[in-house]
């Protein structure tokens, strides 16, 4: 990567005895929508705050735009942060909230400021809301005000700490799409902290998966999903059926499915531990009676049915496998949904398998 906008090298953060960041090396480019994804407490927010300058690193360097940020306070960095809580001033109007960071800008007269505020409101879809009291807004609208307030300062990097977590599912999905559109429009780097893997997959150009203060994998969404670096990443992103397996020579014997040539397996992850094989729910085919037999098929029994309208998850028990495998099927109009206890014939292919060893 040539000249990354953000470059972290050997970043450690200690809080007393607690080692919150453990040697982070990371480059983020100009104009990227980048997400930090991981379970609660893995250090996502701490990493975001070290970029913003709210935390000093214990060890290592944070470079922004080619400059070492050691000792540079947040307001002197080319970053701006949108907090989960929105942090909106209730006694001010929407426009006053958005213009708050501009009030000390002596290079701008009142008219120039008003124009910048109006542009920012327009950008987030709050055209005409300027005179409204900031308290007379829905959660989604408050989040837009917080975004406009950050964008009006024209930062090089916008840092977003779980910005959508307070919204309901529908609103969150809508805002995800709007944030993507906004990021494309303004063209600046967005760094999003989220513990919601779906949100990260939907929105990001690249995602850093974090566990216990370290980076487990940094990749594009599809690569994380299809070619996880480890079993832990595979199980954190989406659903992954993990079947015990043994390797003998150039053959992998998979519990419930039988022997598979090692060379036919789609992707091999690193990382120690016992050998196992992973398969995503959508990589199986549920065969109807009379369907032509695929090269590889296994007979099982439906153990659980989880109906989602457009699709159904079937947990299918396979003889010789300890736990049922989860299989997803799109519900085509007019097709029957199988019931618990029904026989299920599953087609599968080694190319869709991930080997963990
Ligand atoms: P969440 O999604 O729950 O916010 P996170 O991944 O953002 O989690 P961080 O907030 O970065 O996690 O915290 C990482 C770890 O560092 C946590 O165990 C937390 O308790 C600890 N930590 C964070 N800030 C401090 C602090 N100021 N003093 C001591 N420990 C802290």
The pLDDT tens digits of the residues spanning 158-180 come to: 999 998 888 889 989 998 999 99
Mean pLDDT of 33-62: 97
Alpha carbon 256 to chain centroid distance?
32
pLDDT of amino acid 2: 58
* Mean pLDDT for the chain overall: 93
pLDDT of amino acid 273: 62
Helix ranges, 110-220 (H)? 110-123, 139-151, 169-186, 197-203
pLDDT of amino acid 272: 56
Residue 339 has pLDDT above 80, yes or no: yes
The pLDDT tens digits of the residues spanning 89-111 come to: 889 999 999 999 898 888 888 88
Q: Which residues line ligand 1 (CB under 6 A)?
A: 15, 18, 20, 38, 40-46, 195
CA-43 nearest atom, ligand 1: 11
76: left (phi over 0), alpha (psi -120 to 50) or beta: alpha
The CATH number of domain 6-226 is 3.40.50.300: yes
CATH 2.40.50.140 domain locations along the chain: 239-356
Query: Residue 45 Cα, ligand 1 centroid: separation in angstroms?
Result: 7
CATH 3.40.50.300 domain locations along the chain: 6-226
Mean pLDDT of 210-236: 96
Q: Which of 108-117, 266-275, 297-306 has the lowest mean pLDDT?
A: 266-275
The architecture of the domain spanning 239-356 is: Beta Barrel (2.40)
Query: Residue 18 Cα, ligand 1 centroid: separation in angstroms?
Result: 10
Residue 288 has pLDDT above 90, yes or no: no
Query: What span, in angstroms and rounded, lies between the C-alpha atoms of 320 and 301?
Result: 12
Q: How many CA atoms lie within 13 A of 302 on its CB side?
A: 18
Query: What span, in angstroms and rounded, lies between the C-alpha atoms of 256 and 244?
Result: 9
Query: What span, in angstroms and rounded, lies between the C-alpha atoms of 311 and 187?
Result: 36
Q: Whole-model pTM? A: 0.91
Q: Whose CA is nearest to atom 19 of ligand 1?
A: 41
Closest CA to 58 of 17, 4, 28: 17
The pLDDT tens digits of the residues spanning 303-326 come to: 999 999 999 999 999 999 999 999
């Amino acid at each position: 990567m040539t000249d990354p906008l953000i470059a972290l090298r050997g970043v450690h953060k200690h809080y007393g005895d607690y080692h919150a960041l453990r040697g982070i090396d990371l480059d983020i480019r100009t104009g990227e929508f980048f997400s930090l994804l991981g379970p609660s407490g893995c250090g996502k927010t701490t990493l975001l705050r070290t970029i913003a300058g709210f935390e000093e690193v214990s060890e290592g360097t944070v470079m922004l735009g080619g400059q070492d940020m050691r000792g540079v306070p947040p307001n002197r960095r080319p970053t701006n942060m949108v907090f989960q809580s929105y942090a909106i001033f209730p006694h001010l109007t929407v426009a006053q909230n958005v213009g708050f960071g501009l009030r000390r800008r002596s290079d701008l007269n009142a008219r120039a400021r008003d124009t910048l505020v109006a542009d920012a409101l327009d950008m987030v879809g709050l055209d005409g809301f300027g005179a409204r009291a900031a308290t007379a807004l829905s959660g989604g609208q408050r989040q837009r005000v917080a975004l406009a307030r950050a964008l009006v300062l024209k930062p090089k990097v916008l840092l977003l700490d779980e910005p959508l977590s307070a919204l309901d599912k529908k609103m969150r999905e809508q805002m995800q799409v709007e944030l993507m559109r906004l990021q494309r429009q303004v063209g600046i780097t967005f760094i999003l902290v989220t513990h919601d893997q779906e949100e990260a997959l939907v929105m990001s150009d690249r995602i850093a998966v974090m566990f216990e203060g370290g980076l487990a994998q940094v990749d594009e969404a599809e690569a994380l999903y299809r070619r996880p670096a480890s079993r832990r990443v595979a199980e954190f992103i989406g659903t992954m059926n993990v079947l015990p397996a043994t390797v003998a020579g150039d053959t992998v014997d998979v519990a419930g499915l039988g022997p598979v040539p090692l060379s036919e397996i789609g992707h091999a992850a690193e990382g120690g531990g016992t050998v196992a094989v992973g398969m995503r729910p959508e990589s199986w085919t549920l065969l109807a009676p009379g369907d032509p037999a695929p090269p590889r098929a296994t007979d099982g029994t439906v153990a659980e049915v989880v109906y989602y309208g457009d699709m159904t998850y079937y947990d299918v028990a396979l003889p010789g496998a300890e736990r049922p495998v989860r299989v997803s099927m799109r519900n085509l109009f007019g097709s029957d949904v199988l019931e618990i206890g029904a026989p299920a014939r599953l087609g599968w292919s080694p190319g869709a398998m991930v080997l963990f060893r």
